[in-house]
Structure formats: structure tokens, C-alpha cells
A and B are shown apart, each in its own frame.
Chain A
Amino acid sequence: MTLAWRFARTVLGFGALAVATVLLAPLVGATAIDFRRAFDFSIPFADNVDAQIFFVARLPRTLAGACVGGLFAASGVVFQGLLRNPLATPFTLGVSTGAALGAVLAITFNWSLGFIGISAVPVAAFVGSLVAVAIVYALAQARHRGLSTTVLLLAGVTMNAFFSAMILFVQYFASFADTYRTLRWLMGDLDVSSYEPLLAALPTATVAFVVFAWLARPLNLLSLGPDSAESRGLDVARAQRAAFLSASLATGAAVSIGGPIGFVGIIIPHLVRLMVGPDHRLVLPAATLFGAAFLVGCDLIARTILAPVELPVGIITALLGGPFFLWLLIRKP
């Protein structure tokens, strides 16, 4: 079976799953709505309650879930390929903890960007992730020509610990209300009720996915090790830089929308590899689409399992992801 055919089958299969999930998820919730009525455009929108709930109340959240899920899953694939380590996650290199520190600062010090009409928290989170990326990148670059993946890992783990300490430090002085908000943010939540956060993340996400598409074959080669990849004609340093920066940006964008929702970036790449094999030209599109469907599904569970209480989706992914991760560790190769 040729690669072109496998690619088409993969994209169509996982694409259908993602589209179906995104269309069906908004129908389910505290108030039951009718799919046909929601899409019946002969009724004026102002009179069509079903359409209002579908498009205004629930679709932004669903799309946010799809966007965040796809970004986390794809950047998980890229980080695993870059570090040649199947247990790497989008959070391994400190991007999300940097974002968390930004968010915590914005919440605690009540930063506001009211004058341009958006909340300061996602912006601060994104800036925080950029700061973390810059520090880790500079460290990994400092003593080596090209990137040292070992230094990248060590620097990332260290920055994770350092930013966590900063978060605790800020928390120590925060009010109870702010601490509560911070905790909720850290759980990872898709409580999105407008299209603005999505539009804000769109440029970054687009750039990241274009780079990901180019990275598919270089990531295959990196799997051989840097020396072999170089002798096959790959500019290894450039590929590593592109992988690190694009995956970090994608993670930063996703975290700024949904907070640090864990485990999507590791469960999905592994499930996808079990289904389509390790070729990144199949794994990347499949993981993006499956990640989107998965997170929308998890959010559906989070919204309905204890209704009318809406759980943060991060709790659901972690409850599913923890045992999965352990199974991964003890699984026979």
C-alpha cells in the first residue's frame, strides 16, 4: 500500500472522527437541543434558541477544545521526535510552567488589558511561555553548535522546577480568591465562551502547523540519531531549532487558551503510533485530528458527568492519562 493512499485514509478517517465530535458535542449538555433545528436557517437566529445555544454558548468551547487538543497532541509528537524520547510531553521543556507563571502573575496582580477588550491572563500565559522558551533555548545553544538535546532536557526540567517555585512564592502572598482562581487555571479548563481566544491563537497555530508539515520527514530522520540524519542530507541543527520553536509556540498558544491540560500530548501520539505506525507524515496529521476529537470528548464528559457541575477538563484527561502512562511504562515492547 503506497504512502499516498495511507495518508489519504488516515486524514479522512481521523478527520471524519474530529468533525463528527465537533458537531455532536455542542448538542449535549444541561439543555437538550435539536441538531436539525440548530441548523434550520429558515428560522431567524434571534428566535432560534437551539441555534443560539449551539453557536454562541457551546460551539466556541468545543472549537477551543479541538484547537487545544490538536495543538497539544501535535506538539507532543514533535517534542518526542526532537528529543528521541517517547516519554517526552509538550510540558517537558518548561513551556507550560512558564505560561503558568505568567497566568498566575496576571491573576494575582490583577493585570488588565481592558482597553483592548481581552483578558490579560491568556496574554500573560503566552508571554510566560515565550520567556521560558527563550531561556531554555539560550541554555541549550550556549555551549554547543546546534542544539544539544541533553542540555535541552536538563534545562527544561530545571526551569520547570524553578518556575514552579516562583508560582508557589507568588501564591504565598496572594489572597484566597486569587489562589482559588489560580488553582482553577492550573487544572486546565476550557471555559471559553467567545471566539476571541481562538482568533487570537489562530496565527500562532497556523505558523506552527505549517512548520510541523515540513518537519514530518526531518523527524523521521532524527530518529536515526543526529549523525546519521546529517549524512542523509538533513540540516540537523536547523531541523532541531524549527522543531523546538514551533512546538513550543504551539504549546504556548494552547496553554493560553485552555491552561496546562495534561496528558493529551502523550496519550494521543502513542495511540496514533499504535494505529498508523511511526512515520511522522502519518503520525502528525493523525495525532492532530485525534487529539482534537479526544479533548472535545473529554470536555463533554467533564461538562456532563456531574451536571450541572462542570469539571475542569484537565481532571478528566489526567484521570484517564495517569493509568495510561503507567501502562505505557510496563507494556511489553
Chain B
Amino acid sequence: MLTASDLWFGYDERTPVLRGVSLTVPADGLVGILGPNGSGKTTLLRMLAGTRRPQRGAVALDGAPLTGFSRAALARRMAVVPQETQLAFDYTVAEVAMMGRYPHLGAFEIEGPRDIAVIDESLAATGTLQLKDRPYATLSGGEKQRVVIAAALAQIFRLKAEATGTDSRGFRLQAEEASSYLLLDEPTASLDLGYQLEIADLLKRLHAERRAAIVISTHDLTLAATLCERLVLVRDGAVLADGLTDEVLTPENLRKAYDVEAEVTRHASGHRLVVPMRRTAPGRPQDRATDKHG
């Protein structure tokens, strides 16, 4: 269980980005952090991953504060997938996935057969194994995102002890520790419709098969509505609503978060559907792009 209690944070003293955020991610949860641009989602994700420390409040993993973990120990249990990953040099897909094994190796150790096996499994699980030897830079946006997700899987998973070659459905990985977390920052923001669906399907499948908790920050209502079990609605660095997706995704809450009149219905397929109607107030001055900050 990942618990954040009363997080306060600002990149400078005068403008707090997070103002007392508390939330809980169950060890098998699929939680969406939903909110408009500049509401502090990316910052919140950084706090949860432990890559930035809150100025007040604390994040705890199964009751133990993150500050007590070494960087490597934390990285073996929590992986972050950023919105976009551009590489400075021309690495291949396999080399990018290999970087996920960093917290598992000593300073001068090199990847052994088990690490290679984990990488292959992770690439297979995200449907990118056939791209293994391609330069990362030549991939499409959706392929890149899936490769980065594979690297994140290679970071928090290991091979099942009883794994055999016969199980081709990709169940050969298991979480490194009792509870592991995959944190994704706007995983579909820069992707077109087809890739968005692809990534959503992939996340749903990963969650169902691998018992790792998934936390997604997003401003995309449709993604949140179709994918997440629970939602945390944030605006201006504070939590507006927190609960099951059906409870949180109400016209009332959406008006408060986005200043938008919206209807929430169910499509014939059973999917929840959010239909935005109109803006209720002019653009807010707080609507600045702190999401990209840092």
C-alpha cells in the first residue's frame, strides 16, 4: 500500500504546487490521478515515486516512509514512465529496456542471462520484442511508450522461479517484492487515438495479469473513465474527490475540477462515457503549465 499524507510542495516558496494532498493506492489498485493542466499531477507522481521529497508531509510504502529506502531499493519496487522519453544517444530498444535493470546490479556488474530473460519477457509483454534491435529513435510514439513501459516492467519484476518456456501468455514475470508500483505520467497525452487505445489495453492487461499496482496521472477523462478502478480528482494542488470511479466521475465534480458542464453516461458497450458540453467559466489565472515544470 502506498500512502501519501498531507503533502506540501512548491518549486519556489511563494507558489505551492501541492497543498495538503493525501491519498492511498492499494497494492492491487489501478488508480487514476485526474485533473486539469497545471493541477500538480506530475509533481504528485514525483512525490509518490520518491524522486522529489515533499516539503511537508510524507509518503509511505507499506507503512515505511520512503525516506528510509535506498534509491535502488525503492527503484526495485516503483517504476515511473514519464510522458515522453527522448534519448541523448542512439540506443537500441534492448539497451533502453536494459536500463530498467540498473537497481538490480552492482556498480561494476553487467547484465547476466537472468536479466536478459527479464528484459525479453518485459518486451514480449508490451508487444515490442520484435523491435529489440531497432534504434529507439526510429520507433513511432506508441512503440516508444511501450518500450519505456517494458523498461519499467524490467525494473520491478523478476522471473518466476517456476517459470518454464512453455507458458507463452507472458505470465513468467512476478513482482520483485510483496507490492510493486508502476507510475505513469500522462501515458497517452502525446499519442493519437489508436495508440491511446493500445496503451490503455496494455495497462489493463498488465494490471490483470501481474498483480502490480498502477497509478496513472492524466487529464484525459475517457482514459480515466474506461481504465481506472479508483480516481483521485485534483485541482490547484488539492484533492477534490477520492473514491471509486463511478463515485468520483460526476457532473458536479467535473464542473468543480474543469469548469466544464459535462454529462456522464454509459455507452451500449458498458463503457463509461463523459460528454463535455460547455465551459462554465472563463479560463482561470491558475491555469499555468506547472505540469511541465522542472
Q: Cβ of A232 and Cβ of B155 under 8 Å apart? A: yes
The residue in chain A whose Cβ has the minimal distance to the Cβ of B115 is A3
**Which stretch in B74-82, B193-201, B273-281 binds the other chain?**
B74-82
Q: Cβ of B89 and Cβ of A233 under 8 Å apart? A: no
Q: How far is the CB of A250 from chain B (nearest CB, A)?
A: 19
Q: Secondary structure of the B side of the interface?
A: mixed
Contact among A81, A217, A227, A273 with B90 in the assembled complex (CB-CB below 8 Å): A273
Contact among A86, A214, A228 with B80 in the assembled complex (CB-CB below 8 Å): A228
Contact among A86, A217, A225, A279 with B102 in the assembled complex (CB-CB below 8 Å): A217
The residue in chain B whose Cβ has the minimal distance to the Cβ of A217 is B102
Q: How far is the CB of A93 from chain B (nearest CB, A)?
A: 17
Give A282-333 interface residues, CB cut-off 8 Å to B. 333
Q: A86-B89, A224-B99, A227-B294 are in contact. List 13 more A-B contacts (CB 8 A).
A: A80-B88, A220-B91, A223-B87, A223-B88, A225-B86, A232-B99, A232-B100, A232-B103, A233-B72, A233-B102, A273-B89, A277-B91, A278-B91
Contact among B82, B92, B105 with A227 in the assembled complex (CB-CB below 8 Å): B82
* A213 CB within 8 Å of chain B: yes
**Which stretch in B22-30, B106-114, B159-167 binds the other chain?**
B106-114
Q: Which residues of B contact A228 (CB under 8 A)?
A: 80, 82, 85
Q: Cβ of B88 and Cβ of A233 under 8 Å apart? A: no
* A230 CB within 8 Å of chain B: yes
Known: A223-B87, A233-B71, A273-B89. A279 touches B95 (CB 8 A): yes
Known: A231-B49, A232-B100. A223 touches B75 (CB 8 A): no
* B46 CB within 8 Å of chain A: yes
Q: Cβ of B102 and Cβ of A224 under 8 Å apart? A: no
* A235 CB within 8 Å of chain B: yes
Q: Cβ of A86 and Cβ of B75 under 8 Å apart? A: no
Q: Enumerate chain A interface residues (CB-CB to B < 8 A).
A: 2-4, 7, 80-81, 84-86, 213-214, 217, 220-225, 227-228, 230-235, 273, 277-279, 281, 333
By CB atoms of chain A within 10 A, which of B51, B75, B96, B116 has the most?
B51
Give Cα distance in the complex from A213 to B99, angstroms.
17
Give Cα distance in the complex from A81 to B89, angstroms.
8
Contact among B71, B92, B95 with A234 in the assembled complex (CB-CB below 8 Å): B71
Give B37-70 interface residues, CB cut-off 8 Å to A. 46, 49, 51
Q: Which residues of A contact B111 (CB under 8 A)?
A: 3
Q: Which residues of B contact A273 (CB under 8 A)?
A: 89-90
Q: Cβ of A234 and Cβ of B102 under 8 Å apart? A: yes
Q: Cβ of B87 and Cβ of A227 under 8 Å apart? A: no
The residue in chain B whose Cβ has the minimal distance to the Cβ of A7 is B110
Q: Cβ of A227 and Cβ of B86 under 8 Å apart? A: no
* B137 CB within 8 Å of chain A: yes
Give Cα distance in the complex from A281 to B105, angstroms.
14
Give Cα distance in the complex from A85 to B89, angstroms.
9
Q: How far is the CB of B155 from chain A (nearest CB, A)?
A: 6
By CB atoms of chain A within 10 A, which of B74, B88, B103 has the most?
B88
Q: Which residues of B contact A221 (CB under 8 A)?
A: 99, 102
Q: Which residues of A contact B82 (CB under 8 A)?
A: 225, 227-228
The residue in chain B whose Cβ has the minimal distance to the Cβ of A220 is B99
Q: How far is the CB of B74 from chain A (nearest CB, A)?
A: 7
Known: A214-B107, A217-B102, A228-B82. A233 touches B92 (CB 8 A): no
Q: Which residues of A contact B95 (CB under 8 A)?
A: 220, 277-279
Q: Which residues of B contact A4 (CB under 8 A)?
A: 110
Give Cα distance in the complex from A213 to B102, angstroms.
15
Q: Which residues of B contact A224 (CB under 8 A)?
A: 85, 87, 96, 99
Q: How far is the CB of A8 from chain B (nearest CB, A)?
A: 11
Q: Which residues of A contact B107 (CB under 8 A)?
A: 214, 217
Give Cα distance in the complex from A232 to B151, angstroms.
10
Give Cα distance in the complex from A91 to B152, angstroms.
36
Give Cα distance in the complex from A218 to B137, angstroms.
20
Q: Cβ of B110 and Cβ of A281 under 8 Å apart? A: yes
Q: How far is the CB of A36 from chain B (nearest CB, A)?
A: 40
Give Cα distance in the complex from A192 to B102, angstroms.
43
The residue in chain B whose Cβ has the minimal distance to the Cβ of A281 is B110
13 A-B residue contacts at CB 8 Å?
A80-B88, A85-B88, A217-B107, A223-B91, A231-B78, A231-B80, A233-B72, A233-B74, A273-B89, A277-B90, A277-B92, A278-B95, A279-B91
